[in-house]
Amino acid sequence: IQILPLSFLSAADQAFVTLATTEDYCMGALVMGKSLRRHGTTRKIVVLISSSVSPERVFDEVVQVDVMDSMDRTHLSWLGRPELGVTLTKLQCWMLIKYKKCVFLDADTLVLQNVDDLFEREELSAAPDAGWPDCFNSGVFVFRPSLHTHSRLLAHAAHYGCFDGGDQGLLNSFFKDWAVKDISKHLPFVYNLSSSAIYTYLPAFQTFGHQAKIVHFLGAVKPWHLRYDQSNKDSYLDQFLNMWWAEYRSQMPPISGEVDGNQDSG
Ligand code: UDP
Ligand code: MN
Protein backbone atom coordinates (compact mmCIF):
# COMPACT_ATOMS: atom_id res chain seq x y z
CA ILE A 1 0.00 0.00 0.00
CA GLN A 2 1.30 3.37 -0.94
CA ILE A 3 0.64 5.95 1.71
CA LEU A 4 0.26 9.37 0.23
CA PRO A 5 0.59 12.54 2.19
CA LEU A 6 -2.64 14.40 2.79
CA SER A 7 -1.50 17.22 0.56
CA PHE A 8 -1.24 14.80 -2.36
CA LEU A 9 -4.74 13.42 -1.83
CA SER A 10 -6.29 16.83 -2.08
CA ALA A 11 -4.12 17.91 -4.99
CA ALA A 12 -6.88 17.55 -7.58
CA ASP A 13 -8.80 20.58 -6.40
CA GLN A 14 -5.75 22.78 -6.07
CA ALA A 15 -4.03 24.73 -8.82
CA PHE A 16 -1.35 27.23 -9.62
CA VAL A 17 -2.83 30.05 -11.69
CA THR A 18 -1.25 32.70 -13.87
CA LEU A 19 -2.43 35.33 -16.32
CA ALA A 20 -1.17 36.29 -19.77
CA THR A 21 -3.03 38.81 -21.91
CA THR A 22 -0.23 39.46 -24.41
CA GLU A 23 2.27 37.31 -26.32
CA ASP A 24 5.08 38.67 -24.15
CA TYR A 25 3.42 37.71 -20.90
CA CYS A 26 2.66 34.36 -22.53
CA MET A 27 6.41 33.75 -22.83
CA GLY A 28 6.63 34.50 -19.14
CA ALA A 29 3.70 32.25 -18.26
CA LEU A 30 5.26 29.43 -20.25
CA VAL A 31 8.56 29.71 -18.39
CA MET A 32 6.79 29.97 -15.05
CA GLY A 33 4.75 26.82 -15.84
CA LYS A 34 7.78 24.86 -17.01
CA SER A 35 9.71 25.83 -13.91
CA LEU A 36 6.83 24.57 -11.73
CA ARG A 37 6.87 21.25 -13.62
CA ARG A 38 10.64 21.01 -13.41
CA HIS A 39 10.36 21.06 -9.65
CA GLY A 40 7.74 18.34 -9.66
CA THR A 41 4.53 20.05 -8.66
CA THR A 42 1.63 17.66 -8.09
CA ARG A 43 -0.90 20.44 -8.59
CA LYS A 44 -2.69 21.59 -11.73
CA ILE A 45 -1.35 24.59 -13.61
CA VAL A 46 -3.90 26.97 -15.08
CA VAL A 47 -3.37 29.96 -17.34
CA LEU A 48 -5.93 32.69 -17.87
CA ILE A 49 -5.45 34.09 -21.36
CA SER A 50 -7.19 36.53 -23.62
CA SER A 51 -8.17 35.37 -27.08
CA SER A 52 -5.19 37.01 -28.72
CA VAL A 53 -2.63 34.61 -27.29
CA SER A 54 -1.90 30.94 -27.80
CA PRO A 55 -0.14 29.11 -24.99
CA GLU A 56 1.71 25.85 -25.35
CA ARG A 57 1.03 22.55 -23.72
CA VAL A 58 2.68 23.21 -20.43
CA PHE A 59 -0.66 23.96 -18.78
CA ASP A 60 -3.34 21.56 -17.57
CA GLU A 61 -6.02 24.07 -18.22
CA VAL A 62 -6.27 27.12 -20.43
CA VAL A 63 -9.11 29.41 -19.45
CA GLN A 64 -10.03 32.13 -21.84
CA VAL A 65 -10.93 35.33 -20.11
CA ASP A 66 -11.99 38.56 -21.66
CA VAL A 67 -9.75 41.43 -20.89
CA MET A 68 -11.92 43.59 -18.73
CA ASP A 69 -12.32 46.34 -21.32
CA SER A 70 -14.26 44.08 -23.63
CA MET A 71 -15.58 41.68 -21.05
CA ASP A 72 -17.61 43.79 -18.85
CA ARG A 73 -18.45 47.19 -20.10
CA THR A 74 -20.95 47.49 -17.32
CA HIS A 75 -18.38 47.04 -14.62
CA LEU A 76 -15.75 49.18 -16.23
CA SER A 77 -17.97 52.11 -17.04
CA TRP A 78 -19.58 51.79 -13.66
CA LEU A 79 -16.08 51.95 -12.34
CA GLY A 80 -14.98 54.71 -14.69
CA ARG A 81 -11.44 53.34 -14.44
CA PRO A 82 -10.36 51.91 -17.82
CA GLU A 83 -6.75 51.56 -16.63
CA LEU A 84 -7.89 48.90 -14.22
CA GLY A 85 -8.53 46.55 -17.13
CA VAL A 86 -5.67 44.14 -16.57
CA THR A 87 -6.08 44.32 -12.81
CA LEU A 88 -9.71 43.36 -12.98
CA THR A 89 -8.79 40.61 -15.40
CA LYS A 90 -6.46 39.18 -12.76
CA LEU A 91 -9.31 39.16 -10.25
CA GLN A 92 -11.08 36.63 -12.43
CA CYS A 93 -8.83 34.00 -10.85
CA TRP A 94 -11.38 34.04 -8.01
CA MET A 95 -13.90 32.64 -10.49
CA LEU A 96 -12.02 29.32 -10.84
CA ILE A 97 -14.43 27.67 -8.44
CA LYS A 98 -13.72 24.13 -9.58
CA TYR A 99 -10.61 24.49 -7.42
CA LYS A 100 -10.82 24.85 -3.66
CA LYS A 101 -7.48 26.54 -3.19
CA CYS A 102 -5.10 28.20 -5.62
CA VAL A 103 -1.78 29.96 -5.75
CA PHE A 104 -1.54 32.88 -8.14
CA LEU A 105 1.87 33.43 -9.71
CA ASP A 106 2.62 36.41 -11.92
CA ALA A 107 3.79 35.52 -15.40
CA ASP A 108 7.10 37.23 -14.60
CA THR A 109 8.03 34.74 -11.88
CA LEU A 110 10.46 31.82 -12.07
CA VAL A 111 10.14 28.85 -9.73
CA LEU A 112 13.48 27.57 -8.38
CA GLN A 113 12.26 24.89 -5.96
CA ASN A 114 9.08 22.93 -5.35
CA VAL A 115 6.56 25.24 -3.66
CA ASP A 116 3.58 22.88 -3.25
CA ASP A 117 3.74 23.57 0.49
CA LEU A 118 2.10 26.91 -0.30
CA PHE A 119 -1.22 25.05 -0.40
CA GLU A 120 -0.98 24.58 3.36
CA ARG A 121 -1.53 28.34 3.69
CA GLU A 122 -4.82 30.16 3.84
CA GLU A 123 -6.30 33.10 1.91
CA LEU A 124 -4.83 35.64 1.68
CA SER A 125 -1.21 34.66 2.13
CA ALA A 126 1.51 36.64 0.40
CA ALA A 127 5.02 37.99 0.93
CA PRO A 128 5.83 41.57 1.88
CA ASP A 129 6.47 44.05 -0.90
CA ALA A 130 10.11 45.13 -0.94
CA GLY A 131 9.15 48.76 -1.49
CA TRP A 132 6.55 49.02 1.30
CA PRO A 133 6.63 45.94 3.53
CA ASP A 134 3.28 46.68 5.22
CA CYS A 135 1.78 45.89 1.82
CA PHE A 136 1.98 42.43 0.35
CA ASN A 137 3.28 41.94 -3.15
CA SER A 138 0.55 40.53 -5.38
CA GLY A 139 2.89 38.56 -7.66
CA VAL A 140 2.53 35.44 -5.49
CA PHE A 141 -0.53 34.82 -3.32
CA VAL A 142 -2.64 32.00 -1.93
CA PHE A 143 -6.40 32.37 -2.37
CA ARG A 144 -9.70 30.49 -2.34
CA PRO A 145 -11.78 30.82 -5.50
CA SER A 146 -15.23 32.13 -4.67
CA LEU A 147 -17.79 34.00 -6.74
CA HIS A 148 -18.83 35.82 -3.63
CA THR A 149 -15.32 37.10 -2.97
CA HIS A 150 -14.98 37.99 -6.65
CA SER A 151 -18.02 40.21 -6.62
CA ARG A 152 -16.99 41.75 -3.30
CA LEU A 153 -13.62 42.59 -4.86
CA LEU A 154 -15.32 44.26 -7.83
CA ALA A 155 -17.62 46.19 -5.55
CA HIS A 156 -14.63 47.26 -3.48
CA ALA A 157 -12.86 48.49 -6.62
CA ALA A 158 -15.97 50.41 -7.66
CA HIS A 159 -16.36 52.01 -4.29
CA TYR A 160 -12.78 52.77 -3.30
CA GLY A 161 -10.89 52.64 -6.60
CA CYS A 162 -7.35 51.51 -6.35
CA PHE A 163 -4.49 53.52 -4.93
CA ASP A 164 -1.79 52.31 -7.33
CA GLY A 165 -3.85 51.69 -10.45
CA GLY A 166 -3.08 47.98 -10.29
CA ASP A 167 -4.17 44.76 -8.65
CA GLN A 168 -1.71 45.13 -5.78
CA GLY A 169 -3.30 48.30 -4.43
CA LEU A 170 -6.76 46.89 -4.76
CA LEU A 171 -5.94 43.58 -3.08
CA ASN A 172 -4.09 45.32 -0.26
CA SER A 173 -6.98 47.62 0.43
CA PHE A 174 -9.42 44.68 0.34
CA PHE A 175 -7.32 42.36 2.55
CA LYS A 176 -6.35 45.31 4.65
CA ASP A 177 -5.54 43.54 7.91
CA TRP A 178 -2.85 41.38 6.24
CA ALA A 179 0.02 43.36 7.78
CA VAL A 180 -1.02 42.88 11.38
CA LYS A 181 -3.59 40.16 11.83
CA ASP A 182 -2.08 36.74 11.20
CA ILE A 183 1.63 36.09 10.80
CA SER A 184 0.96 32.71 9.13
CA LYS A 185 -0.35 34.68 6.15
CA HIS A 186 3.04 36.32 5.72
CA LEU A 187 4.96 34.21 3.26
CA PRO A 188 8.72 34.25 3.74
CA PHE A 189 10.33 36.64 1.30
CA VAL A 190 12.04 33.74 -0.50
CA TYR A 191 8.62 32.85 -1.99
CA ASN A 192 8.57 36.14 -3.85
CA LEU A 193 12.10 37.39 -4.12
CA SER A 194 11.87 40.55 -6.14
CA SER A 195 14.84 41.17 -8.33
CA SER A 196 15.09 44.76 -7.06
CA ALA A 197 15.62 43.61 -3.47
CA ILE A 198 18.91 42.01 -4.39
CA TYR A 199 20.53 45.42 -4.62
CA THR A 200 18.66 47.22 -1.89
CA TYR A 201 19.91 44.77 0.75
CA LEU A 202 22.82 42.89 -0.75
CA PRO A 203 24.21 41.38 2.50
CA ALA A 204 20.79 39.83 3.21
CA PHE A 205 20.67 38.47 -0.31
CA GLN A 206 24.16 37.02 0.08
CA THR A 207 23.12 35.35 3.33
CA PHE A 208 19.63 34.12 2.46
CA GLY A 209 19.49 34.29 -1.33
CA HIS A 210 20.41 30.63 -1.80
CA GLN A 211 17.08 29.74 -0.16
CA ALA A 212 15.16 31.52 -2.93
CA LYS A 213 12.13 29.57 -4.08
CA ILE A 214 10.49 31.99 -6.49
CA VAL A 215 12.17 34.90 -8.23
CA HIS A 216 9.93 37.75 -9.36
CA PHE A 217 11.16 39.99 -12.17
CA LEU A 218 8.96 42.88 -11.23
CA GLY A 219 9.19 46.29 -12.82
CA ALA A 220 9.14 47.54 -16.36
CA VAL A 221 12.03 45.49 -17.71
CA LYS A 222 11.17 41.82 -18.00
CA PRO A 223 13.44 38.89 -18.88
CA TRP A 224 11.88 38.65 -22.33
CA HIS A 225 13.02 42.21 -23.05
CA LEU A 226 16.62 41.25 -22.38
CA ARG A 227 18.85 38.92 -24.32
CA TYR A 228 20.33 35.73 -23.05
CA ASP A 229 24.03 36.29 -22.56
CA GLN A 230 26.15 33.53 -21.09
CA SER A 231 29.03 35.92 -20.57
CA ASN A 232 26.91 38.05 -18.23
CA LYS A 233 27.47 36.05 -15.10
CA ASP A 234 28.67 38.85 -12.90
CA SER A 235 25.60 40.01 -11.13
CA TYR A 236 23.08 37.94 -9.24
CA LEU A 237 20.37 39.34 -11.43
CA ASP A 238 22.20 38.18 -14.54
CA GLN A 239 22.31 34.70 -13.09
CA PHE A 240 18.55 34.70 -12.55
CA LEU A 241 18.05 36.09 -16.04
CA ASN A 242 20.18 33.32 -17.48
CA MET A 243 18.14 30.78 -15.54
CA TRP A 244 14.98 32.29 -17.00
CA TRP A 245 16.32 32.00 -20.55
CA ALA A 246 17.61 28.49 -19.90
CA GLU A 247 14.10 27.51 -18.81
CA TYR A 248 12.59 29.21 -21.83
CA ARG A 249 14.81 27.18 -24.15
CA SER A 250 14.57 23.94 -22.22
CA GLN A 251 12.54 20.93 -23.18
CA MET A 252 9.22 20.53 -21.51
CA PRO A 253 9.86 18.86 -18.13
CA PRO A 254 7.84 15.70 -17.43
CA ILE A 255 4.42 16.16 -15.90
CA SER A 256 4.40 14.77 -12.38
CA GLY A 257 2.90 11.26 -12.40
CA GLU A 258 3.45 10.66 -16.12
CA VAL A 259 5.32 7.41 -16.59
CA ASP A 260 7.61 7.95 -19.53
CA GLY A 261 8.81 10.93 -21.44
CA ASN A 262 6.20 10.93 -24.17
CA GLN A 263 6.61 14.65 -24.52
CA ASP A 264 7.13 17.16 -27.23
CA SER A 265 10.80 17.56 -27.78
CA GLY A 266 10.38 21.30 -27.98
N1 UDP B 1 -0.33 40.94 -17.05
C2 UDP B 1 -0.81 40.56 -18.28
N3 UDP B 1 -0.84 41.49 -19.30
C4 UDP B 1 -0.41 42.75 -19.14
C5 UDP B 1 0.09 43.12 -17.88
C6 UDP B 1 0.13 42.21 -16.87
O7 UDP B 1 -1.20 39.41 -18.49
O8 UDP B 1 -0.45 43.53 -20.11
C9 UDP B 1 -0.34 39.95 -15.94
C10 UDP B 1 0.89 39.06 -15.89
O11 UDP B 1 0.56 37.83 -15.31
C12 UDP B 1 1.79 39.88 -14.99
C13 UDP B 1 0.79 40.39 -13.95
O14 UDP B 1 -0.39 40.66 -14.71
O15 UDP B 1 2.84 39.10 -14.42
C16 UDP B 1 1.23 41.64 -13.19
O17 UDP B 1 1.89 42.56 -14.04
P18 UDP B 1 3.47 42.77 -13.93
O19 UDP B 1 4.12 41.47 -13.57
O20 UDP B 1 3.93 43.42 -15.19
O21 UDP B 1 3.58 43.79 -12.71
P22 UDP B 1 4.84 43.96 -11.72
O23 UDP B 1 5.06 42.64 -11.05
O24 UDP B 1 6.02 44.38 -12.55
O25 UDP B 1 4.38 45.01 -10.75
MN1 MN C 1 5.04 40.72 -11.73
pLDDT in tens, 94-124: 999 999 999 999 999 999 999 999 999 999 9
**Which of 21, 25, 27, 47 gets mutated to test ligand 1 (max ligand atoms within 8 A of its CB)?**
25
Sheet of strand 193-194, all strands in order from the earlier edge strand to the far edge: 109-111, 214-216, 193-194
Cβ distance 33 to 249 under 8 Å? no
22 Cβ below 6 A of ligand 1: yes
Tens digits of residue pLDDT in 23-58 = 899 999 999 999 999 999 999 999 999 877 776 678
Query: How far, in Å, is the centroid of ligand 2 from the Cα of 73?
Result: 26
Cβ distance 109 to 16 under 8 Å? no
The backbone torsions φ and ψ at residue 91, rounded to the nearest 5 degrees and listed phi first, read -60, -20
Q: What pTM was computed for the model?
A: 0.90
- The Cα diameter of the chain in Å comes to 59
Query: How far, in Å, is the centroid of ligand 1 from the Cα of 85?
Result: 11
Query: How far, in Å, is the centroid of ligand 2 from the Cα of 258?
Result: 30
